[in-house]
Amino acid sequence: MARIDWNNGKVEMIHGSGGRAMQQLISELFAVEFNNEFLNQGNDGAVLPLTLPCSPDGARLVMATDAHVVSPLFFPGGDIGSLSVHGTINDVAMNGAAPLYLSAAFVLEEGFPLADLKRIVQSMARAALEARVPIVTGDTKVVERGKGDGVFITTTGIGAVPPPVDLSGSYARPGDRILVSGSMGDHGVTILSLRESLGFESELQSDTQSLHGLVAEMLTHVDSIRCLRDPTRGGLANTLNELAHQSGVGMHLQEAAIPVKPVVASACEFLGLDPLYVANEGKLIAICAAADADKLLQVMRSHPFGQEAAIIGEVIEDSNRFVQMTTRFGGRRMVDWLNGEQLPRIC
């Protein structure tokens, strides 16, 4: 069997055919990079021990899955590999769970450079190692050229929720406070800035990062957290509308309290976008009882991934389930669901 050319080689249909070439790709790349005892079992699935990091009495399992299709694949602050690890870990963590294991499924396009694939897999391995969540099983498929966009990665995560943690988007109550862990819109604007038709430069980086460490700190110190959610696609605005809808409440935000980096605000300004609707990949929204809001804010700010945390508003009674905002300017407006795509305005 010829050696894999990691410098100039390309993904070929044979790499997904189930034969020796696929086996070679798995053993020389995925097994080496993701290396852990469960993956190394080499079976069709990973057999995992039932030992939990918490008391098993009343503990529950959380499972979350996320498909990643970002373009471009590499961007300042990360790539599709690290994003696919962080994204699913965060989805597990938002349920109050400590993430335990990940799976990863790759859809590769024929002709995709193997050097890029290696870079992506190494980045995933690094992200998984930093998060201490092993990738224990996976799958690879290859589609014909033109039927994919380089690489798509779907990751699934399992985690355990220790009792008495019980979070849900339906638990927000009037009077509760709404917090965010940092600045809004960094990831989305980073990606937009790389789209060839826009061509503006900035020092901005994606905020992609795993939030389970921050979540663990928050849950250890504050009992009254009702729900956590990461404002990815659709940004803060959509996520708050989801929560308002689930809980049957309204929300009232203070625009001046919402952290947005000046470079993000400027980019959104000239593209005609609203940072509240732009995606984040390493930030969370927390809702907790008013009495605990200041304490929660301190806990978040003492964690490296929550230094810019802020209390941005409160939950109110509203049968319309509107999310509204007092603008910096002093007037009120709705912060509605995102309508269609965010399309740039004309003039």
Partner 1 sequence: MKYVDEFRDGSLARQLAAAIAAAARPERNYHLMEFCGGHTHAIFRYGLPDLLPANVQLIHGPGCPVCVLPIARLDMAMALAKHPDIILCTYGDMLRVPGSGRTSLLKIRAEGNDVRMVYSPADCIALAQQHPDRQVVFFAIGFETTTPPTAVIIEQASRLGLKNLSVFCNHVLTPAAMHGILDTRESGEALKLDGFIGPAHVSTVIGSDPYEPFPQQYGTPVVIAGFEPLDVLQAILMLIRQLNDGRAVVENEFTRAVTATGNEKARQITERVFEVRDQFEWRGLGFVPHSALQIREQYRELDAEQRFADVLQQHAERIQLVPKDNKACECPQILRGVKKPRDCKLFDNPCTPDNPLGSCMVSSEGACAAYYQYGRVMES
Instruction: Report the site for partner 1 in 232-251 (rule: CB under 8 A).
Output: none
Measured distance CA(26)–CA(17) in Å, rounded: 12
Pick from 59, 257, 265, 289: which binds partner 1 (CB under 8 A)? Answer: 265
Pick from 18, 42, 262, 304: which binds partner 1 (CB under 8 A)? Answer: 262
Residue 290: CB minimum distance to partner 1, A: 22
Residue 314: CB minimum distance to partner 1, A: 15
Residue 279: CB minimum distance to partner 1, A: 18
Q: Does 147 bind partner 1 (CB under 8 A)?
A: no
Bond prior to 72 in cis (omega within 30° of 0): yes
Query: What is the SS3 assignment for 35?
Result: coil
Residue 337: CB minimum distance to partner 1, A: 8
Q: From the centroid of its chain, how far is CA 232? A: 6
How many of the other CB atoms lie within 10 Å of CB of 344? 11
When the beta carbons of 156 and 324 are compared against partner 1, the nearer one is 324
Pick from 256, 291, 298, 302: which binds partner 1 (CB under 8 A)? Answer: 256
Number of residues that bind partner 1 (CB under 8 A): 30
Query: What is the SS3 assignment for 164?
Result: coil
| Contact range with partner 1 by CB under 8 A, out of 1-9, 32-40, 178-186, 339-347 | 339-347
Measured distance CA(128)–CA(122) in Å, rounded: 10
Residue 346: CB minimum distance to partner 1, A: 5
Taken as a whole, the chain contains a residue count of 347
Measured distance CA(138)–CA(14) in Å, rounded: 18
When the beta carbons of 118 and 252 are compared against partner 1, the nearer one is 252
- The string of DSSP codes covering 221-244 is H-TTEEEEE---TTHHHHHHHHHH
Measured distance CA(47)–CA(4) in Å, rounded: 30
Residue 286: CB minimum distance to partner 1, A: 24
Pick from 198, 205, 233, 307: which binds partner 1 (CB under 8 A)? Answer: 198
Pick from 194, 266, 290, 292: which binds partner 1 (CB under 8 A)? Answer: 266
CA 230-278-257 angle, to 5 degrees, is: 75
3 state SS for 112-137: CEHHHHHHHHHHHHHHHHHHCCCEEE
Which tokens hold the place of 66? 């996320």
When the beta carbons of 212 and 261 are compared against partner 1, the nearer one is 261
Contact string (CB under 8 A) for partner 1, positions 115-144, x = contact: ------------------------------
When the beta carbons of 27 and 327 are compared against partner 1, the nearer one is 327
Residue 197: CB minimum distance to partner 1, A: 5
Measured distance CA(83)–CA(198) in Å, rounded: 23
Instruction: Report the site for partner 1 in 298-337 (rule: CB under 8 A).
Output: 318, 320, 322, 324, 326-334, 336
Buried b (16+ CB within 10 A) or exposed e, 117-147: bbebbbbbbebbbebebbbbbbebebeeeee
Residue 261: CB minimum distance to partner 1, A: 10
When the beta carbons of 233 and 295 are compared against partner 1, the nearer one is 233
Applying CB under 8 A, which residues contact partner 1? 197-198, 256, 262, 265-266, 269, 272, 318, 320, 322, 324, 326-334, 336, 339-341, 343-347
